[in-house]
Structure 1
Amino acid sequence: EYFRNGSTATTTDWKVNPIPEDLLTRRVEITGPVNSAKMVINMLSRNESGSRADCAMLDFEDSMNPTWDNVMNGFKNLSEACDGTLQYIKKNKSGAIEKIYRLNPNDMPVIMVRCRGLHLNESNITVDGEPISGGMLDLAGSFYHTAKKLIAQGKTPKYYVPKCEHYLEARWWNKLFSALEDALKVERGTLKATFLIETLPAAYQMEEILYEYREHAAGLNGGRWDKIFSDIKVLKYHPDRIMADRGTIDMKKHWMDNYVKRIIKVCHSHGAFAMGGMSAFTPGKDAATRKEQTDKVIADKSYEAFIGHDGCWVSHPYFIEYAMKSFSRKNQLDVLLEEFDKYPDLAPQGGTPRTIAGLRTNIRVGIAYMQGWNAGNGCVSWDNLMEDLATLEISRAQVWQWLFHQVKTDDGEKVTCELVSKIFNEELDKIKEEIKDNMFAADDEAVKRVIASYEKAKKDAENIFLSKNFNEFLFTQNELV
């Protein structure tokens, strides 16, 4: 529910501190894991068609498995990226250098960092025997290693904060921002942040959240995938809120459309940016698939620009130029949506379709993602989509909800643990055949190793999906070294 308490945040005419010049154009932001030097270089470089994003969000969160090595590599890559010296050396099987990937420090997007949320602890650093916040480590480490060098270059230290659920969380983060600035003797308000509004509680409190860190605010972002996960999670026990197939929940649903329009209205009324969501495609292998994907990206981003967003996210460099075409101006801070009700209906609605095909998609994503996770990765390219932890969370939450309510699919089949296990086995068999087809030139031992990794992933994912107890988050801490 909305707070109707007449607070300063919701009833007075306040503004965020002025947005720095280098943050006034954010038409397309590309995102990816900060621990991969090659991916960081690709995000910070022009693609084959000569396009590049305005900004690049280097991620310690949903697209990165937070192993200690990955976290440390993330700090290294971030520091070298800010210096413009980051490189990646590709070698062949014999160890000979095939290619060296380098940055062009004079032609790079604005660098941003997303830290982990407050639900994720860093197990490898403790204070008084308790693990510290992973997000605190990510933010403090990134700021310590890069803030002064960015400021010396005339650039702004910029961050994304995920998973916020309450304005008091934003107040806590704002205190941390100020403490870091004071510790490095940096002027208050230099650090800028964008909070992701990607939980159902935060959708009702976004104005209060923005107010709490107004001194450091660059804007808010509509994190659509985690928002869908949060919708299912928060309303999981409500029989009238059983969600349709995950693939059918898009921005055309009235509660999703209202939520992003509310972001635009709230942000622009206070002088902050309102960033749109992610297009999670990875380019298909054939021209017809790429054409279909491109048309969907253009339609999605054109609508985001039409309603007033200042920019959007993509997950792959291929789609930058198509997303960019939708945003013809450097920003749209003047779009105020004056006729739109600031307190719209945000309650997610249950509905159909609920299909076996949708169940299969969730299960297939579970197997694929866990195979990547077990290999130390936080995102996987699968079935022409970039799947990260948020999309796995949607999949396992939806299967849990359908099992809990003993849902019948549209063709009358009851969703049971036995049915879920049966589909896990069937999807694993399909994946095995795909592996054999794709690795036809590889030796038998290599094929066996890959198949074994998916067999383990299937077992892990099945245990997660069939758990009787629903965990609020799948992972709340990383592994000890």
Structure 2
Amino acid sequence: MSTINIGEGFSFPKKFWESDYQELFPPELIKLLKNLHERLNPERLRLLEARKVRQEHYDRGEVPEFLDRNSEAVKGSWKVAPIPRELLCRRVEITGPVNVPKMVINMLSRNEKGERADMAMLDFEDSMKPSFQNVLDGYKNVILAVPGKLTYFTEDKKYQLNPNDMAYVMVRCRGLHLNETNIKINGEEISAGLLDLAVCFFHTARQYRLQNKTPKYYVPKCEHYLEARWWNNLFVELERATKFPIGTLRATFLIETLPATFQVEEILYELRDHAVGLNVGRWDKIFSDIKVLRNHPERIMADRSSINMERSWMENYAKRVIKICHSRGAFAMGGMSAFTPGKSPELRLEQTQKVSADKKREADWGHDGCWVSHPYFIGVAMNAFKNENQLKETLPDFDKYSDILPRSEGPHTIGGLRTNVRVGIAYMHGWMKDIGCVAFDNLMEDLATLEISRAQVWQWLHHQITLDDGVQVTKSLVASIFADEFQKILEEMKHETPENRHRELFVELEEARDMALRIFTQDELSDFLTTTSEPVEY
């Protein structure tokens, strides 16, 4: 990769510095990034090393546990800072990749039925592949979306925002574990999450304030209260450097890892000056359950499609977040409905009924709002949440120390194995094209659901479990299923692909199959599909 040293020890791909992306990184921002990196990256690396040490303990048979029940975080009378008025109604939040302008505009706008989400989370993480082109396009889209100026043109249509009638713009940065390979400071790769937050806050915070709004962010993949402290320190450093009052930036953290579910109160305590809530990130949580307990034969997770919020440990985890958040004055957001609208009226009706039941359950438990992945389901989700929020619902009869450890309750089926394999092939097919989420089998499959499929196949294979169908999971069985599903997906996709592209499609899917098979059956389960963005190629 050919890079250019801009100054302050800041190196950047020369290919992009010669383009209009250069304006994203003025000297003031480069200096800020250098200072943030030098102050905060050493501690980030220590925190990531601590994750490895904890996992070694889990691999030897230990499990996560609740922390000191007499700490200030648990026993103290603290509350989070008052929630700004404009953030008090978050009944439905829609999310999708930040780098695609048409999708960003559709997320922020009303759907065909005239329904609009309260909030839109523009995502640099699970739904966006972190190619450098995607990252930089995402920054540009955020900068234009906040004031309502983002537009997109096709040959026959213009997509644009209505600044007076659009969802509230939020940004989800990348996680603590991710490096941005393409930007280095003093020879070190910069933290991707730090970069995302700093660039977006630097360019948009004043625009938010001109609108009497609050810069609002989502932070993923937190595993420990000390990690929350690191993020809070980053918030403070950003505010001080840009001369904003402490608490200007507000954040919602996803509680989507098994270790974090045991530290909900401690995490919120660390964030109390900046937090507006926590979110029950159900899909990444299932992945984390499998990953953390991967060596525990008594906790082999069931088919991914059967693990829902009705499972006892999942319900207890959600209610724990609700009880703690509301007792501390913070929002408790529900999870994602990952459906994409089916092609037939019958299928869409079935999906609508499932979304309605899921969101009604979340509202009945006390969540303040929820997520959807497609504008079609905004109205269905909105109907479940009758009030602006449910901050007064504190679940007095629920014990926040209820059992939240996953259980091996089945089913474990050949059908579940096939589903995981299909997701692997389809997702990697998109990934190879720099796409981070794919509509497949009437679901929106993003990195979180790919990670579930990857981890589950690995766990079943590692323990060579015998499925309910009586078949033992072996490498040869997994390979044969990959071969079967490759042929099925190829035939399915041919119907939607011009005939002159069928050979190209075959080659693409073959490569996706081989890539997915390799990562699903590797000897050691890697913590994430990737921890770095792809280097720019020339």
TM-score by length of 2: 0.87
One-letter amino acid matched to 1:186? F
Does 1:265 pair with 2:320? no
Does 1:203 pair with 2:253? no
Work out whether residues 435 and 451 of structure 1, in 8 Å CA contact, stay in contact via their aligned partners in 2. no
1:157 counterpart residue number: 215
Distance in 1, matches of 2:434 and 2:262, equals 35
One-letter amino acid matched to 2:208? L
2:293 counterpart residue number: 235
One-letter amino acid matched to 1:75? Y
Alignment partner of 1:415: what SS? coil
Structure 2 gaps of 5+ residues are 1-64
The RMSD of aligned alpha carbons is 0.7
Distance in 2, matches of 1:203 and 1:85, equals 39
1:94 counterpart residue number: none
Distance in 1, matches of 2:531 and 2:136, equals 19
Alignment partner of 1:438: what SS? coil
Alignment partner of 2:263: what SS? helix
2:80 counterpart residue number: 16
Q: Deviations over 1:411-454 (max 9, x none)?
A: 21110000000000000000111122233xx232x222222211
Distance in 2, matches of 1:6 and 1:57, equals 36
Distance in 1, matches of 2:376 and 2:69, equals 47
CA shift for structure 1 position 372: 0.4
Alignment partner of 1:66: what SS? coil
Does 1:103 pair with 2:158? no
**Identity rate of aligned residues, in percent?**
63
Alignment partner of 1:325: what SS? helix
Does 1:250 pair with 2:305? no
One-letter amino acid matched to 1:328? K
Q: What is the correspondence of 1:69-468 to structure 2 with a 5 Å cutoff? A: 69-90=133-154, 97-439=155-497, 442-444=498-500, 446-468=501-523
Aligned partner of 2:95 among 16, 19, 31: 31
2:528 counterpart residue number: 473
Q: Which runs of 4+ in 1 moved over 4 A?
A: none
Distance in 1, matches of 2:437 and 2:349, equals 24
Alignment partner of 2:301: what SS? coil
CA shift for structure 1 position 5: 4.8
Distance in 1, matches of 2:435 and 2:238, equals 30
One-letter amino acid matched to 2:529? L
Distance in 1, matches of 2:247 and 2:305, equals 40
Distance in 2, matches of 1:200 and 1:143, equals 30
Alignment partner of 2:495: what SS? helix
Distance in 2, matches of 1:426 and 1:338, equals 51
Work out whether residues 69 and 75 of structure 2, in 8 Å CA contact, stay in contact via their aligned partners in 1. no
Distance in 1, matches of 2:214 and 2:300, equals 43
Alignment partner of 2:458: what SS? helix
One-letter amino acid matched to 1:459? D
Alignment partner of 1:278: what SS? strand
CA shift for structure 1 position 109: 0.8
CA shift for structure 1 position 85: 1.1
Work out whether residues 421 and 482 of structure 2, in 8 Å CA contact, stay in contact via their aligned partners in 1. yes
Alignment partner of 1:145: what SS? helix
